[in-house]
Amino acid sequence: MKPIVFLDFDDVLAIHEVHNGHRVLDTFSDKAVQVSPELWNNLFDSTARRNLLELHKEFEPSYVISSSWASHLNREQICEVLSLAGLRFVVESLDDYWCTPRDSVSGRLSEIEAWINQHAVGVTIIYVIIDDHVSGWGLVDSWLEEKTVFCDAWVGFTYAKLRTARKILKKQIVG
């Protein structure tokens, strides 16, 4: 079984003050997706993209989107965002159960727990959660904390965070 990366967007990949999730939603509602190259070029931080690609090359994981963006965009739209913003490899490796289940009051902990309970019962899965301290606050001091990489707000998925993600996955593979 391939490792799984539970992937958040805000403060992990999307750290730009102007080119952010709100702009993405506006672009889709205005039907201006194809005429927004500045947005797509700046939406996801280039360093964060590069680090995620390095993780991808090493572990060839499947991805499950744990971002709140999946509350507003369907699978096709999420794939379009990822492709336009330089993360086609994520689209190509998106899990069949591509996002964590959510509702208006759920938090990251309950969403990831629900995904695991629905799609990984009775099997051992290797996974890492890449999130931030704000949206992932519920993961702190939980049973999922040791498999979580917490990115800093406005900084994103740095090389140091990539090293942490590698250690989390390698520990599960070896152990």
pLDDT band of 69, cuts 50, 70, 90: confident
pLDDT at 62: 98
pLDDT band of 162, cuts 50, 70, 90: very high
pLDDT at 34 over 70: no
pLDDT at 126 over 70: yes
Distance between CA atoms of residues 165 and 145, nearest Å:
12
Q: Give the number of domains in the chain.
A: 1
pLDDT at 160 over 70: yes
Q: What is the 3-state secondary structure (H, E, C) of 94-115?
A: EEEEEECCCCCCCCHHHHHHHH
Of 68, 63, 102, residue with least CA distance to 79:
63
Domain, as residue range, for 131: 4-174
Question: Is this structure's pTM higher than 0.85?
Answer: yes
pLDDT at 40 over 90: no
Query: In this predicted model, what pLDDT tens digit does every residue of 44-56 receive, in sequence order?
Result: 999 999 999 999 9
CATH number of the domain where residue 128 is located:
3.40.50
- Choose between 1 and 148: higher pLDDT: 148
Per-residue tokens: 45 = 């931080």
